[in-house]
Structure formats: C-alpha cells, structure tokens
C-alpha cells in the first residue's frame, strides 16, 4: 500500500503541485493528503464543479506554467471529462497534457453498487479509446515500482503533449492523517435526514395530491429509502437517482412536464446542483408550475467524505430567483422548513400546492448515520414501481 503523501511527491515531480477535481470516497486518502498539503480553497487546489470543468482548469494552468496539473475524479467522472479531453487536451488539437488520478469504482471482481458496475467494466477501455496511457495502482504497488516502471515513460508522454493516468484500486493508498471536515455553518441544527423526514411528513401522499420525489445521488437517496421503510409507505412515488450526479433536476422536470397533475419534488444536494448549474436556468425559464426544487445545502460533498464545496459561499435561493423560479425560500431548522412547505401548499390556493417552480434551500450540517443502509430494491425495480404509479 502506497503512502498518499509520497504519491503526491511523485506526482508533483512528474507534473506540478496544482490539483483540481471532484472528490471520490475511494480516493479519500489521496484527497486528505492534498487537503493537508494545499488546503481546500487555494491557488494550489480547486474543487471543481464537475470533472469537465476540472480539465479546463488544468488546461489553463498548463498554458500559464508549462506544467501539467493533477486532475482527480471517480471513474464515473470520465464521462463529464470526455469532451474537453478530446477537443481541448488531445495532441491533435492543443496537445495540452494533464495527469489524471482516477478512482476505480465497480472494478470487475469487486463488490460495488449498481451504478458503478458498467462504468467499472469499461474504465480501462475508455482510457484506451481516449488514447490516455495509464498505470493501475493496487495495494501491492510500491513507490519504487512506480518510479522505475512508469516515471520515464510518463515524462516522455507529457513532453509530447499527451495526458497520462493513474487508475487507483480500492485500498491502494493510505494516509496516516485523516482530515476531519466540519460544517461550514457552525449553527446548522438540521441533519439531512432530519430535513428529509420533515419534508416527507409535511408533503406526504396521503392527501391525494399525487406527489413524486426525484432524489439525488448519494446518501440522500439512501436516507429516503430507509425513511419509507420505517414508515411502511412503499417506494412507488420515489425515483432514487443512484448515478448520473447533477441530473436529478432535469429528470424531475421531464416528469413534471409530462404529468402536470402531479407535484414533483426534486430532493437535491448542493454539490449536485453545482455540477450542472445551468439546469436551474432551464427550469426557471420553462417554469413547470408543479415543480418544487429542494436543495440540501451542507456546503460539502458529504457522501464522499465531506470535502468542502463552494456552495458554502453562495446564495443559492437568490440565484434561483434570478434564474426565474417563481418563489424561493432559505431555511435553517425544522420549523422554518415546515413553514416554507406549508406556504408552498397554500400559494394561490392551488389544490396541488404552489404555482412554481419553487426553490427551497435547506441549510444543514454534515451529520449522517454510520449504520445507514442501501436500497434493497434494484434500480430497475425502482423504475418499474414508479412508472406503474405514473401510468395510472
């Protein structure tokens, strides 16, 4: 197992000490080492909105310094990065090299969640297709092996304007100093799960309004699933977006446009909103009147370890209002959240709730249960149950 700080030393000798990317739980030792060395908001480390944006940052850094930056991501993020890799970095275009550090979720033979299985199977094939030379780092890989077998070849690739990649297997890296991340708002009293419990209680489906809940990637979907189990309420009104981070809002809009008689709640996260923020503009301009967009803002990518996001410095509900949302709220406790939801129900006397789109930003802390489970239904079972409800 390679010590993450030594891996950083190797990367900085190979390229430069500028890091950008989107966090991944498998890369936690690596990211903790970067945070320890360079911090979270600095001119040496930028947590990007999405992986494609990280590639853009890396390209700008190279243009200014002639040194390749390090871009880190989960392998699912390769999809977001394909366009700038092909049309910006590639040697047939600008020949701008970058050093990719990629967490290999869903590696064949390793147990993982459904959303990672196919991505894991095609990860190395994608890198081959993108013509990015790579080396796989496992728990048996040593620093001397990397230096002896990889360094010179990678230096030559970089010199020729070609990007390179390190694919990191589970438990390949270690870090003696684990970073502890705290809430950006010290007075945030709500946890995400408490907020979700309040939302489900205040909106419910027993009143016949016919709500649908599209839940974002990560722990939020897992918490909604467990809350439904605790209530014995079933899962037919919920879509659990287990992958495709940042796209829950557009999924919710697609349902809202097609089913105007049903209220559609998008239960979103601040990191997911940042990833594809232009979707807020689309929702604001097209104005599905039955859409309620709830963003749990804890200022961090909490599901994958708690790395700070820039959302702690933004006024998301103000941004939503500027982009065309008809009503916006910002709440920080269960009582104010319930009051906002009650107002949504009463606006304009609409029997199905507020005429939207409505945006509710909920300030939360980073607390989550250590015993949080995962959905026992498969994604296809979830899809079929929701579609059966929507067909009636």
What are 70-112's pLDDT values in tens digits? 999 999 999 999 999 999 999 999 999 999 999 999 999 998 8
Least confident of 19-33, 50-64, 349-363, 368-382: 349-363
pLDDT at 291 over 60: yes
Q: Give the pairing type, strands 307-308 and 300-301.
A: antiparallel
How many CA atoms are closer than 13 Å to the CA of 355, on its beta-carbon side? 4
> Domains of the chain: which residue ranges?
2-174, 192-390
Q: Decide: pTM greater than 0.95.
A: no
Are 115 and 109 in contact by the 8 Å Cβ rule? The answer is no
pLDDT at 351 over 60: no
Give the separation between CA 120 and CA 108, rounded to whole angstroms. Answer: 7
From the candidate CATH numbers 3.30.390.50, 3.90.25.10, 1.10.240.10, 3.40.50.970, the one assigned to the domain spanning 192-390: 3.40.50.970
Give the separation between CA 99 and CA 18, rounded to whole angstroms. Answer: 10
Are 228 and 265 in contact by the 8 Å Cβ rule? The answer is no
Q: Which of 315, 304, 253 is nearest to 280 (CA)?
A: 253
Q: Which of 129, 59, 61, 132 is nearest to 102 (CA)?
A: 132
Q: In this predicted model, what pLDDT tens digit does every residue of 183-232 receive, in sequence order?
A: 555 567 899 999 999 999 888 644 445 789 999 988 999 999 999 999 88
Instruction: Tell me whether the CATH fold assigned to 2-174 matches the one assigned to 192-390.
Output: yes
Q: Which CATH superfamily is domain 2-174 in?
A: Thiamin diphosphate (ThDP)-binding fold, Pyr/PP domains (3.40.50.970)
């Amino acid at each position: 197992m390679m010590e993450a700080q030594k891996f950083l030393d190797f990367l900085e000798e190979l390229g430069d000490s500028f890091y950008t990317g989107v966090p991944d739980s498998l890369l936690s030792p690596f990211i903790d080492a970067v945070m320890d060395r360079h911090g979270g908001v600095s001119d040496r480390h930028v947590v990007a909105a999405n992986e494609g944006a990280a590639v853009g940052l890396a390209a700008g850094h190279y243009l200014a310094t002639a040194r390749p930056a390090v871009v880190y991501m989960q392998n699912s993020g390769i999809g977001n990065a394909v366009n700038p890799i092909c049309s910006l970095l590639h040697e047939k275009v600008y020949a701008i090299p970058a050093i990719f550090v990629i967490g290999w979720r869903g590696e064949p033979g390793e147990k993982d969640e459904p959303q990672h299985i196919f991505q894991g199977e095609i990860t190395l094939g994608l890198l081959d297709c993108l013509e990015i030379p790579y080396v796989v780092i496992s728990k048996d890989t040593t620093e001397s092996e990397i230096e002896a077998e990889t360094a010179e070849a990678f230096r030559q690739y970089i010199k020729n304007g070609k990007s390179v990649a390190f694919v990191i297997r589970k438990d390949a890296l270690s870090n003696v100093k684990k970073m502890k991340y705290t809430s950006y708002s010290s007075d945030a009293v709500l946890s995400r799960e408490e907020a979700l419990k309040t939302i489900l209680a205040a909106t419910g489906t027993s009143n016949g309004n016919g709500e649908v809940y599209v839940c974002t990637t990560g722990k939020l979907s897992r918490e909604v699933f467990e809350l439904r189990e605790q209530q014995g309420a079933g899962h037919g009104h919920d879509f659990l977006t287990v992958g495709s981070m940042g796209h829950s809002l557009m999924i919710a809009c697609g349902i809202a446009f097609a089913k105007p008689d049903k209220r559609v709640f998008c239960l979103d996260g601040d990191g997911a909103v940042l990833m594809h923020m232009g979707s807020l503009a689309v929702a604001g301009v097209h104005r599905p009147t039955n859409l309620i967009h709830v963003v749990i803002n804890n200022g961090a990518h909490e599901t994958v370890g708690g790395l700070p996001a820039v959302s702690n410095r933004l006024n998301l509900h103000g941004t939503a209002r500027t982009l065309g949302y008809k009503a916006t709220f910002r709440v920080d406790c269960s009582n104010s959240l319930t009051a906002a939801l009650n107002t949504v129900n009463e606006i304009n006397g609409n029997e199905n709730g507020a005429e939207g789109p409505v945006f509710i930003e909920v300030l939360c802390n980073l607390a989550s249960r250590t015993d949080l489970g995962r959905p026992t239904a498969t994604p296809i079972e979830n899809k079929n149950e929701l579609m059966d409800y929507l067909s009636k």
